[in-house]
Amino acid sequence: MTTSDKSANANAAVSARHAHVIGWGMAVPETAMTNDDLSAFVDTSDDWIYARTGIKQRFIANEGESTATLAYLAAQQALEVADILPTDLDLVVVATSTAENIFPSTASLVQDWLNAHEAGAFDLSAACSGFVYAMNMAADSIRAGSIDSALVIGAETMSRILDWQDRSTCILFGDGAGAVVLQANETPGGVLSSVLRSDGAGGDLLAIPSVGSIDANQSRAGANGYKLYKMYMAGGEVFKFATRVVSESVEQACKLADINVEDINLVIPHQANLRILQAAARKLGIDSDKFMSNVERYGNTSAASIPIALCEAIEERRIQNKDHIALVGFGGGLTWASMVIRWGIPKPSEQHGSLLNRQRRHVQYRIAKWRSRSRRWRRRVNSRVRDLQS
Ligand code: ACO
């Protein structure tokens, strides 16, 4: 079966339900680090970084900020825009390479803090492509009818896994989170197509070895340049890979959505490097103005970069109803992914952001804290009682 046959079958099976973006939000740490700040402790300069990457500054998490706290803030904003309650959510997915823990998942923490107690939760690992992968999983679940509403988050604290002595990587990355609410609706549109790809043969080009890694054996670590929990990247190779796959996969996603590349109103790519975006726009034959870029202010926030750029594009009124937008991610794995969305936001209520719902959400956030504490407390008391009885 060809890819377009598969897509046609999938579309026929799920034509009555469409997955629409109805809410969005973003959060970045309080502290910005400029290129000049960086050059105070790494052998680099504002001129070099800006000319090679387009980056001017990035945000770096302080001690009280983490992947989960940033994800939580972005999620609250997305629920506010969607004007739904946390208890309406069926699924919370966090795409991240810098999870709060190996387990429990960052998504489970966010689910608990939001009081989204009707939702399943899991983290998804596909590096900088993770947000598009997660959107695809959630949209497919909505279209298949297994869920109605999903919170999809991309969240990272890249600053925690950077080798701050490696000037070829530490200048590139920043911390942040972005979130969207996807909801089922009969109005045609929303997520139209997705293309997910991986080439594990390129896994050695970009990696963060962790506990399960063969490189956890210290006699091997260091031999190949890897350090546990630190990012390693062959920048030049990744650059060539990225410029190739961005254009190819956007073309494939357009074909599956049955539109031409010229019909795309805005491409929202993973924000890795301005030069990659410019090269990809040239390859696609579309104006670079149609490529959203905010890498200058945030650096590369990995899985968070696409939802953060989406939020800013909406804020800047660069997306209108019925527009076609393309999301495209690429990164470690190697992985890459594209998605075409027809924008058009059937709101749950015309009274968007209504005061009553806002108050109900705030009550639920308070309940969430109380609920978790009381559950832990009850568990401890029960286990003490059992100990005393035995
Ligand atoms: N400051 C000053 N000089 C530097 C720096 C720096 N921060 N970093 C490298 N240099 C030097 C190098 O040592 C080299 O010097 P030499 O010529 O004397 O050997 C020179 O600058 C050129 O280095 P290159 O690596 O060839 O520079 P390039 O133009 O390729 O830019 C960069 C490097 C910015 C990393 C680029 O390759 C890149 O952006 N790659 C893609 C990264 C990316 O997109 N990753 C996305 C996925 S991330 C994810 O999935 C988690």
User: Which listed residue (35, 273, 294, 300) is catalytic?
Assistant: 300
Distances (CA, A) of 32 to 37, 84, 164: 9, 32, 16
End-to-end CA distance of the chain: 62
At residue 161, the pLDDT reads: 95
How far, in Å, CA of 143 to CA of 131, rounded? Answer: 18
- pLDDT of 12 > 50? The answer is no
Query: Cα of 279 to ligand 1 centre, how many Å?
Result: 16
Query: What's 273's DSSP letter?
Result: -
User: Is 159 in contact with 61 (CB distance < 8 Å)?
Assistant: yes
Per-residue pLDDT reduced to its tens digit, 108-160? 999 999 999 999 999 999 999 999 999 999 999 999 999 999 999 999 999 99
Query: What's 376's DSSP letter?
Result: H
Q: Give me the count of residues in the chain.
A: 390
User: Is 183 in contact with 79 (CB distance < 8 Å)?
Assistant: no
User: Is 366 in contact with 342 (CB distance < 8 Å)?
Assistant: no
- Which residues on neighbouring strands pair with residue 120, listed in sequence order? 91
User: Is 164 in contact with 15 (CB distance < 8 Å)?
Assistant: no
- Is 117 catalytic? The answer is no
* Beta-strand runs (E) in 270-379: 324-331, 335-342
How far, in Å, CA of 359 to CA of 361, rounded? Answer: 5
At residue 9, the pLDDT reads: 45
For residues 80-102, average pLDDT: 96
DSSP string, 167-219: HHHHTTB-EEEEEEEEEEESSS-EEEEEEEEE-GGGGGGEE---TTSGGGSTT
Query: Cα of 288 to ligand 1 centre, how many Å?
Result: 22
Residue with the bigger pLDDT between 16 and 273: it is: 273
- Is 300 catalytic? The answer is yes
Tokens standing for residue 375: 């559950």
* Mutational pocket test of ligand 1: of 165, 168, 232, 278, the residue with most ligand atoms within 8 Å of the beta carbon: 168
At residue 390, the pLDDT reads: 82
> In a 3-state reduction of DSSP, which class is residue 157?
strand
At residue 217, the pLDDT reads: 59
- pLDDT of 98 > 60? The answer is yes
User: Is 150 in contact with 140 (CB distance < 8 Å)?
Assistant: no
At residue 345, the pLDDT reads: 74
* Mutational pocket test of ligand 1: of 67, 159, 239, 336, the residue with most ligand atoms within 8 Å of the beta carbon: 239
- Report which secondary-structure segment, H or E, holds 255: helix 235-257
Which residue's entry shows tokens 């689910």? 111
* Beta-strand runs (E) in the chain: 18-27, 31-34, 57-60, 91-95, 120-124, 149-157, 175-185, 190-198, 206-207, 232-233, 266-269, 324-331, 335-342
- Is 270 catalytic? The answer is yes
Determine the distance from the C-alpha atom of residue 201 to the mean position of all C-alpha atoms in its chain, rounded to a whole number.
24
Take atom 42 of ligand 1 and give the residue whose Cα is closest.
235
How far, in Å, CA of 86 to CA of 388, rounded? Answer: 39
Query: Cα of 236 to ligand 1 centre, how many Å?
Result: 7
- How many Cα neighbours within 13 Å face the side chain of 112? 17
At residue 216, the pLDDT reads: 59
- pLDDT of 80 > 70? The answer is yes
User: Which listed residue (35, 115, 170, 270) is catalytic?
Assistant: 270
Per-residue pLDDT reduced to its tens digit, 297-331? 999 999 999 999 999 999 999 999 999 999 999 99
50 lines ligand 1 (CB under 6 A): no
At residue 8, the pLDDT reads: 44
Tokens standing for residue 4: 């377009």
Per-residue pLDDT reduced to its tens digit, 322-359? 999 999 999 999 999 999 999 987 665 544 557 888 99
Query: What's 343's DSSP letter?
Result: -
Query: Cα of 107 to ligand 1 centre, how many Å?
Result: 33
> In a 3-state reduction of DSSP, which class is residue 58?
strand
- pLDDT averaged over every residue in the chain: 92
Model's pTM, two decimal places?
0.92
236 lines ligand 1 (CB under 6 A): yes
53 lines ligand 1 (CB under 6 A): yes
